[in-house]
Structure 1
Amino acid sequence: MDDLTISDMLRRAAARHADLPCWIEEGRTVTYAAFDREVDRLAAGLLNLGVTKGDHVGIWLPNTYEWMLSFCATARIGAVIVPVNTRYKAEEAGYVIAQADAKVLIMLRRMWKSDYYAMLCEIAPDLPAQQSGELNLPELPSLRTVVVLDETATAGTVTFDSVLSDDTGAVAQAEANVAADDMLLICFTSGSTGKPKGVMHNHGVIEQSTRVGLALHVEPGDRVLAHMPFYHSAGLYMALITSLNLGAALVPMIQWTPREALDLIERHRVTMFGGIPTHYYDICAVPDIDRYDLSSLKAAWIGGSAVMQETFERIMRSMRLDKLFSTYGMTENTISTSFNRWDDPVEYCCRNKAPLLSSCEVRIVDPETLAEVPPGSEGEIWCRGETVMIGYYKNPEATAEAITPEGWLRSGDLGTLDAEGYLTVTGRLKDQLKIGGTNTSPVEIEQQLAAHPSVKSSVVVGVPDERMGEVAWAFVELSAGADLKPEDLIAHCSRTLADYKVPRQIHFVREFPLTATGKVQRNEVAKIARGMLPHG
């Protein structure tokens, strides 16, 4: 895997697996050989648009074939991919496109209730009056061309098909000038607090993505459900790149619906599935899940936030999974800092306890003294090595805050690293509660709440308290049909938790506020809690 570029990876896959499918959807199956030829056609078209090595290309698309094609073609000529979240509104999208200095933007005109062209015109009102290829927009100063995935071009744009070129002679020279340590993409964080930050990575992400696939025993001819958005690091690194390098086929989902996911797994004999807890909650809530044949699944992974043991075991039973691995990672450290081994006992997986996946260094430090703590002691997780990002694009201050002068990435996550090298994530540093002067993990309280059969999920936050400084409040989503009172859950927690950890108040909710990538926005839940105080 050493020194491979995305284009090297694809050329090799096309030679080894020419007739195997790399993409399977209703009405279209594309082989590796055919896909490689199409990448050349789009790469040639991008060169014709004036895109050269180091230029930035924004991809504002859902999980379509054209997303994968745009990604590989942009990488082939040494340009930099800027994935744009399809759930963004105009202000958010405008910030990312401008901040990333996108020269070309490839986008859908509209999808469902979202009119992306109207949003782009809201961002840059002069767009319709200008010629695509010669755009000069003060709000998006680097943007020259807008490419729309539509049969006809709208004002200020060109169509995707019109960009494709059969004259691919210039592609080989551009491809030859690309090196593995060249920047590949700027992937913007979800921005649950503050503006999104653009995380820069080079082509070396192939190695960590491949490690994920090997940990899941992905083989040529396997099928990977691609429901995690490609604009998100999990969809890109744990599905798209993983599949292309290992000869598997992507089975895409443009919009997440649990019943469709079950149908696709059954119909296309999907072998690998993964997602955040929300995906699993949704699937397990399908009333007739037992009628679906999920026996093709070799393994699945779960990550994105802490997974409670009771919930973990429930998921395995409902989906009839033999292997469900926990993983911990962050965009800034590529993906999956830790990942369970194939033969790890279920007890380890349930506890989010997994060995390090790559050769990167991990240390656990005291957040206040910054001294390394003994094995098994809790502290902040720091990482150093090949998986750590180049930095945040055009944000040296944030880069300096995140990466120490010695190259350690400060994750902001809490965990322990035992003598055997297994990492256990215990929570977020900023989520820690300080009750009566004692540090308390909200995850521990959520773990106890999850042990109650009527609890689907919960979020514990701290609220100010005159006597204790801070106390715990729990916001709980109940399982369908559950009939429970707050005092029942308080009594449940009191049986096993120290009195200061027991939530002072329980509030039932129908759903939690989520980020654009489906993670619970704890900061928003905390705001709701503070707003409920007498002087909130």
Structure 2
Amino acid sequence: MTHLFVSPSLLPQGLAVADAIGLPQDNVLILQGSIPGRRSLDELADLGWSAPAVGLKPKPPKTPEGIPVTLGYAPLYHVLGFCVNIARCFLQPSTVVVIPKWDTELVFKLIECWKVTSMVLVPAYVHMMVHSPSFKRVDFSSLATVACGAAYLPSELRQRFSSRLSIPWWVETFGMSELTGAGLMATPPGLFGGTVDPKPGSTGILIPNFEGRVVREDGSDTDYDEPGELWLRGPAIALGYWRNEQATRETFLPDGWMRTGDRFTMDRQGRFYYIERIKDTLKVSGTQVSPSEIEDKILEHPDALISDVAVAGVEGVRMQDELVPRAWIVLSDKGRTAEADYIATVLDGWVKSQLSRPKWLRGGIEVVDEIPKSPTGKVLRRVLQDRHKTRNFGTVRAKL
């Protein structure tokens, strides 16, 4: 520990703790408000964290102004855009290059032109970047920080992107609008004595002021490494949904816990591992099937025939009340040189050779021009499912 932030009312206790651990009393700072003769958080923000005595400011980035530069592609009304491209700018001077929507080739040009120092990405956009023909030619040397959230980042994508970067670690996070940002974050190497160093597949540990549980369907806590729903509790969590009492009751529980709707495991060190969005999980022949697991396996095909994929459940032929996996694929440049039927046959055989029978693509494989995504890069599986159902069974009414 190098610095301690305390509320004004707890300053005496903070100074006592500093004495006990050998921390200089000048390094005890005021969290909110002010006390004469003692530095406060507001003061540091006004100074841009530049006071030499504090020692909290990193080396100035190699940009013309010597301040961080980031890209703003997420809508500013979304929690990602608001936190990264608006709220964070009040903590330290920064430049935000705002673009109307994600455009991979434009992003590459802006990284080089503006010497972008940090990027907050989602897995869908990492996928687009590494599969672009321009990826190997882009100068990423200005990047000092890369963060990724919103969904699970396959290790294969992370490795391919990391091979072009010279940064020691990725800031992986788990967040939701209901959390006013992030609830989990991967720690930098060496924090807490290295006991919770980043681990492949981990989304990180709880951020300060959050509590977490991994819960079974009966409401009991799971054991370590046992899948369950992630519940979170903390002061940043929303109070409910506007004019939707039923959804509020189902998500925000009376004792302050919020059900995230996502399945996780947690190891003995307190690191969390994302598995799947619960509503996306399929039950095929009594087996839990994760669409993202099938997607990852398809993307691992050694011939690199596709550039994007989404898997979701559709009605099967054998049982109308059981949803089976179906894949929608976007062909890569290499894949476009072959017949679509051939690609479908190859990928179907690949999945069958790599995954158990319930995870086979019994719902078929369809070639599409693009995978529908939200402005922040989340795959809109419901759109694909509704298109398929409309084409095969008639009009589908949207469910609100």
Q: TM-score range by the shorter chain?
A: 0.7 to 0.9
- Does 1:500 pair with 2:358? yes
Spell out, residue by residue over 1:290-322, the C-alpha distance to the aligned partner (whole angstroms, 9 max, x if none). 443211111201222222222222222355655
Match of 2:232 among 376, 383, 387: 383
How many residues of Structure 1 are paired with residues of Structure 2 in the alignment? 336
Question: CA distance change for structure 1 residues 496 and 290 in 2, over 3 Å: closer, same or farther?
Answer: closer
- Alignment-derived partner of residue 392 in structure 1: 241
Structure 1 letter corresponding to 2:372: P
Output aligned runs, 1:19-418, within 5 Å: 221-318=67-164, 322-343=168-189, 350-367=200-217, 369-418=218-267
- Alignment-derived partner of residue 16 in structure 1: 47
**2:384 & 2:120 partners in 1: Cα distance?**
26
Question: CA distance change for structure 1 residues 472 and 358 in 2, over 3 Å: closer, same or farther?
Answer: same
Between 1:244-253 and 1:436-445, the stretch displaced more is 244-253
- Give 1:459 shift: 1.5
**1:321 & 1:454 partners in 2: Cα distance?**
30
Structure 1 letter corresponding to 2:247: A
- Alignment-derived partner of residue 425 in structure 1: 274
- Does 1:446 pair with 2:295? yes
- Give 1:285 shift: 4.2
Does the 8 Å contact 1:308/1:446 carry over to 2?
no
Under a length normalisation based on structure 2, what TM-score does the superposition of the two structures give? 0.74
Question: CA distance change for structure 1 residues 372 and 309 in 2, over 3 Å: closer, same or farther?
Answer: same
For residue 392 of structure 1, give the secondary structure of its aligned residue in structure 2. Answer: coil
**1:397 & 1:218 partners in 2: Cα distance?**
49
Match of 2:309 among 440, 448, 458: 458
Does the 8 Å contact 1:311/1:450 carry over to 2?
no
**2:353 & 2:198 partners in 1: Cα distance?**
25
For residue 518 of structure 1, give the secondary structure of its aligned residue in structure 2. Answer: coil
Question: CA distance change for structure 1 residues 478 and 322 in 2, over 3 Å: closer, same or farther?
Answer: farther
**2:204 & 2:373 partners in 1: Cα distance?**
26
- Alignment-derived partner of residue 530 in structure 1: 389
Structure 2 letter corresponding to 1:471: V
**1:391 & 1:477 partners in 2: Cα distance?**
38
Does the 8 Å contact 1:303/1:327 carry over to 2?
yes
**1:18 & 1:451 partners in 2: Cα distance?**
44
Structure 2 letter corresponding to 1:495: S
Does the 8 Å contact 1:298/1:323 carry over to 2?
no
**2:60 & 2:221 partners in 1: Cα distance?**
36
- Alignment-derived partner of residue 480 in structure 1: 333
Does the 8 Å contact 2:280/2:291 carry over to 1?
yes
**1:456 & 1:319 partners in 2: Cα distance?**
21
Gaps of 5+ in 2: 8-30, 34-39, 51-55, 396-400
- Alignment-derived partner of residue 203 in structure 1: none
**2:276 & 2:249 partners in 1: Cα distance?**
23
Question: CA distance change for structure 1 residues 18 and 440 in 2, over 3 Å: closer, same or farther?
Answer: closer
Spell out, residue by residue over 1:446-500, the C-alpha distance to the aligned partner (whole angstroms, 9 max, x if none). 1211211323222111122354533211112232222452121111112221112
- Give 1:359 shift: 3.0
Question: CA distance change for structure 1 residues 531 and 309 in 2, over 3 Å: closer, same or farther?
Answer: farther
Identity among equivalent positions (%) equals 26
**2:358 & 2:105 partners in 1: Cα distance?**
42
Question: CA distance change for structure 1 residues 391 and 4 in 2, over 3 Å: closer, same or farther?
Answer: farther
Question: CA distance change for structure 1 residues 292 and 439 in 2, over 3 Å: closer, same or farther?
Answer: closer
Structure 2 letter corresponding to 1:342: P
Does the 8 Å contact 1:339/1:354 carry over to 2?
yes
Under a length normalisation based on structure 1, what TM-score does the superposition of the two structures give? 0.56
Between 1:252-261 and 1:292-301, the stretch displaced more is 252-261
Does the 8 Å contact 1:218/1:272 carry over to 2?
no
Does the 8 Å contact 2:74/2:101 carry over to 1?
no
**1:338 & 1:348 partners in 2: Cα distance?**
12
- Give 1:380 shift: 1.1
> Relative contact order (alpha carbons < 8 A, sep ≥ 6): 1 or 2 greater?
1
- Give 1:272 shift: 0.8
**1:291 & 1:465 partners in 2: Cα distance?**
44
- Alignment-derived partner of residue 471 in structure 1: 324
Spell out, residue by residue over 1:194-247, the C-alpha distance to the aligned partner (whole angstroms, 9 max, x if none). xxxxxxxxxxxxxxxxxxxx9x99988222222222211111113322232133
Between 1:257-266 and 1:429-438, the stretch displaced more is 257-266
Structure 1 letter corresponding to 2:208: S
Question: CA distance change for structure 1 residues 535 and 11 in 2, over 3 Å: closer, same or farther?
Answer: closer
For residue 109 of structure 2, give the secondary structure of its aligned residue in structure 1. Answer: helix
- Give 1:420 shift: 1.2
- Give 1:398 shift: 2.8
Spell out, residue by residue over 1:60-84, the C-alpha distance to the aligned partner (whole angstroms, 9 max, x if none). xxxxxxxxxxxxxxxxxxxxxxxxx
Spell out, residue by residue over 1:325-358, the C-alpha distance to the aligned partner (whole angstroms, 9 max, x if none). 322111101222222222289x966524422223
**1:339 & 1:272 partners in 2: Cα distance?**
16
- Give 1:535 shift: 7.7
- Give 1:534 shift: 6.7
**2:324 & 2:176 partners in 1: Cα distance?**
29
- Alignment-derived partner of residue 21 in structure 2: none
- Give 1:257 shift: 2.6
Structure 2 letter corresponding to 1:473: R
- Give 1:373 shift: 1.2
